[in-house]
Amino acid sequence: AKKAGRNTFCFYDDGMGSDVSERTLLELDLRDAVMRSEFLLHYQPIVDAASRTVRAFEALMRWTHPVRGTIPPTEFIPLAEETGLIVALGSWALHEACREAASWPGDLRVAVNVSAVQFARPGLEKVVGDALSASGLPAHRLELEITESVLMSDAESVVACLHRLRDLGVRIALDDFGTGYSSLSYLRRFPFDKIKIDRSFIRDISDGNTAAIVRAIVGLGERTGATITAEGVETAEQFEGVCREGCNQVQGYLFSEPLRASRVMNFVEELALRSST
Ligand code: C2E
Ligand code: CA
Ligand code: CA
Ligand code: CA
């Protein structure tokens, strides 16, 4: 393609080229970043709906890139999953979150997201066990958040793994509930300790049909003993809505964005003050 179709070729080449190199650069950066420990965890409070006190914090990964600044997880987690780097990154997150949470008072829990790729490799149970023993965090204060994609493939070995993790005393939460293709079927495969209703439902909670679905999920939770958490609660109206439908816990910008580790204890105390007055 020298002359004929040159424009087309150039257009195609430029488009592809920049896309591929952008990706490759980010991938190279990601490998370095794991070595250079450019990652940190932020913690978002999960609040008990009735008492309005903090029950747990969800650990959410942040990448502080030396040039690009903070890169959100939605941009680098998929890449880390494709390249397998998520295995190292996920182990780091488990260790870091447990270490941090071990210094929190009372029975505050920490929730850590675990990718389907981590379940597909052997060794997850050992990583979890090591993170607990190295930090001294009691197992019941660790919650693992998994999405439906974890149960999509090779369900039997995954379910066996979930049972062994549960036997350690760790709690298992089903994340982003309602967004997958066969959400209900996943509930039959494993008795989850917690179900987190995806924020798309919470956004539309003022709609009667959506409220009815949320109420039905709450009913499921009551029958199975699962705690129901509403994700992405941003407004007072949404908070009222999810409380009315019976959700046990809420998480979202209305209460707090994900916080730096150093601000976790401040938040717990502030909210306790606000809720007692
Ligand atoms: P997720 O597990 O569903 O986490 C909740 C996401 O919703 C977080 O985005 C949080 O900041 C955001 N969020 C919280 N409250 C609100 C709200 O009121 N409104 C809106 N619009 N958003 C809210 P974030 O931190 O950007 O993380 C995005 C996703 O990246 C997470 O979704 C999770 O799937 C993944 N992720 C983050 N950290 C990790 C990790 O350590 N390991 C793995 N495997 N995935 C992670
Ligand atoms: Ca999550
Ligand atoms: Ca979620
Ligand atoms: Ca999500």
Ligand 3 centroid, distance to 177 Cα (angstroms): 8
* H helix intervals, the chain: 6-36, 73-83, 86-101, 116-120, 124-135, 149-152, 155-168, 183-189, 199-203, 208-224, 236-244, 264-276
DSSP state of 66: T
Q: Which two tokens stand for residue 17?
A: 């080229």
- Please tell me the least confidently modeled range out of 55-59, 79-83, 231-235, 271-275: 271-275
Q: Which residue has the higher pLDDT, 111 or 68?
A: 111
Task: Looking at the CA of 145, name the nearest ligand.
Answer: 2
Contacts of 32 (CB under 8 A, 6+ apart): none
Ligand 3 centroid, distance to 49 Cα (angstroms): 18
Task: Looking at the CA of 91, name the nearest ligand.
Answer: 1
Contact by Cβ (8 Å): 194, 227: yes
Judge whether residue 89 has pLDDT over 90.
yes
Which has the closest alpha carbon to 59: 258, 263, 276?
258
* Closest-lying ligand 1 atom to the alpha carbon of residue 73: 30
Handedness of CA 229, 230, 235, 240 (dihedral sign): negative
Contact by Cβ (8 Å): 277, 61: no
Query: How confident is residue 18, by pLDDT bands cut at 50, 70 and 90?
Result: low
Judge whether residue 20 has pLDDT over 70.
no
Compute the chain's Rg from CA coordinates: 21
Ranked by mean pLDDT, which of 3-12, 186-195, 248-257 comes out on top?
A: 248-257
Judge whether residue 8 has pLDDT over 70.
no
Please give the Cα distance from 189 to 122 (Å, whole number): 20
Q: Which residues does ligand 1 sit against, CB inside 6 Å?
A: 44, 60-61, 72-74, 77, 90, 93, 113, 115, 145, 175-176, 199, 232-234, 252-253, 258
**pTM of model > 0.90:** yes
Q: Average model confidence (pLDDT) for the chain?
A: 90
Ligand 1 centroid, distance to 183 Cα (angstroms): 19
